[in-house]
Amino acid sequence: MSQNLNGRAPAQSAPAGHAISLTPSDAVEIGQPVRGLYVGATGDLAVEMASGEAVIFAAVPAGSILPVRVRKVLATGTLASAIVGLV
């Protein structure tokens, strides 16, 4: 979902205006760019960054918001759950 405010897109530092529930998958890319991830339940979070680099955020606490741009939340290596993409 793209936001347009007076003909301009919101700045990357602006708060999210939309959220999407994410199911970890090694194959499926997130359908739209996210400006961050909310992690509802503690655990490791494996992602493929927008750059294509794979990384694991270890032991992410429940309730954390990570300001990262990712292509995928990977199933392999992800133990965290209740993951929400912030758009």
C-beta neighbour count of 2 within 10 angstroms:
9
Q: Quick check: 54 and 47 in contact, CB under 8 A? A: yes
Strands (DSSP E) found in 26-80: 36-41, 43-49, 54-60, 64-66, 70-73
| pLDDT in the model for residue 62 | 98
Q: Which residues contact 20 (CB under 8 A, 6 or more apart)?
A: 30, 31, 32, 34, 84, 85, 87
pLDDT in tens, 33-79: 799 999 999 999 999 999 999 999 999 999 999 999 999 999 999 99
**At residue 1, does pLDDT exceed 50?**
no
